[in-house]
Chain A
Amino acid sequence: MTHKQLQSVMKFQLKYFNNSEVKITDDTIHREILSRQDGFGYANSKYIYRAVIRWTLIQNKQDDKAWPKHWIDLSVKELALKILTAE
């Protein structure tokens, strides 16, 4: 999976949780869209997003690596790069 492909998947998934007029781009910060307060318990946008991106990586034969610190404060471009290049 390339950076561009993962960025496309991330933007696609973020669009579902976007309840504002914010346009989703490679520079969108995850915290602007995702929250732990918009569901019940762990059925919330932040944890669901993380789960579906990890599912996507696993199903497309990528390593399921630990996510970076403070990933929610990273942009789509930054997080995709860190996930694919993590040790």
Chain B
Amino acid sequence: MNQKRNINICWIALCLILNFSAVAQEQDDTPLDISIKTILTDFQNEAISLGIDYARSLDSLFQTKDILLAQDKSLFQLTPGIHVQTGTEDAFSSIQLKLSGIFMTFKTTYVGNQVTPDLNKGFQTFPISLGIETNNRFNTLNTLAEAGWVPWFKKNPNGNMLNPFRTIRLGLFVQSGYKFNFVKDSLAITCPKDTLNLCDGEADESHEAPNSFLLRAKGSLKIDTQNLITVGNVGLGLSGAAHGWYDIKNNAWYYRAQAALRMYFSRQNNKYFDIAYQKGSGAPNFNAGSQFGMGLTVAF
């Protein structure tokens, strides 16, 4: 029954992909990344994991002027987006719909007698977002507001970013919202406390109680070497990310860590094959299980 429903969800997701893809080809600035992986879950289930990142600028959505506020040493730009991770069997699942923006501060300089931001001196970005996060069963739904800080570092005089910061990104965030519950407790997927590491990958393992307010601090670290070395026509690189959440209200910690050996098949780095490992599902389930898999990602 669950497997049939999960397969149906995958079909729905694929239909959405085709729809988004068709729209993207017609109108937009390539806003879509799709990844399909075969994975092995904690229950040794062979499953399919499907990931979708979709973001487009407001001007391409509505064919009107985008929201960009330009001040003397700062700017603010607003963009909607969708992130979906789902799959068959007990693959991790999360769906996030967000209206996001960045506030950015910088120094300026003149290039060709035109004033422009001088990113080489370093700059600060402050991402903010309003949205919802749920899983592919839609049995919980969190409304969430997020504000964060992502610094971008200076470059040295010869143009290269100071190592190791060239490929590392750091982000700090505060998240607050409300968790809604749409099913009776008897139908909810829960996980015994003493089997946290071997529980169904779809289970909600957070300490956040249904129908209550949420307050989290989040720290993220990301490394992406992109095309590090080239072997024949294939580029090889490493990609990794670690996200930690501190549940302030319940004094609990959650995490998601992922690492991948990445093989690029195009000079533009928009088609790549990953051999990847992920520990922890992240929001909203904060499932502590793990997945190992391989698959292809294409950015349209």
Contact = CB atoms under 8 A, between A and B. Distances in A.
Interface of A: 1, 4-6, 8-9, 12-13, 15-16, 18-20, 29, 31-32, 35-43, 47-48, 50-52, 54-56, 58-60, 64, 66-73
From DSSP, what is the main secondary structure of chain B's interface residues? strand
Interface residues of B, number: 58
Interface in B53-99: 53, 55, 57, 59-60, 63, 65-66, 68, 70, 75, 77, 79, 81, 98
Nearest to B220: A40
Contacts of A36: 33, 53, 55, 299
Given A19-B166, A58-B68, A69-B28, A39 B117 contact: no
A22 to B, nearest CB: 9
Q: Of residues B66, B98, B119, B166, which shows the largest number of chain A Cβ atoms within 10 Å of its Cβ?
A: B119
Contact of B119 (A5, A16, A40): A16
A68 B33 CA distance: 19
20 contacts: A9-B114, A15-B120, A19-B226, A35-B269, A36-B53, A36-B299, A38-B226, A39-B125, A40-B127, A40-B222, A41-B100, A41-B127, A48-B102, A48-B104, A51-B102, A52-B106, A54-B70, A55-B70, A55-B117, A56-B114
Interface in B13-63: 27-30, 33, 53, 55, 57, 59-60, 63
A40 B171 contact: yes
A54 B75 CA distance: 10
B115 A60 contact: yes
Contacts of A68: 29
Nearest to B267: A32
A35 to B, nearest CB: 7
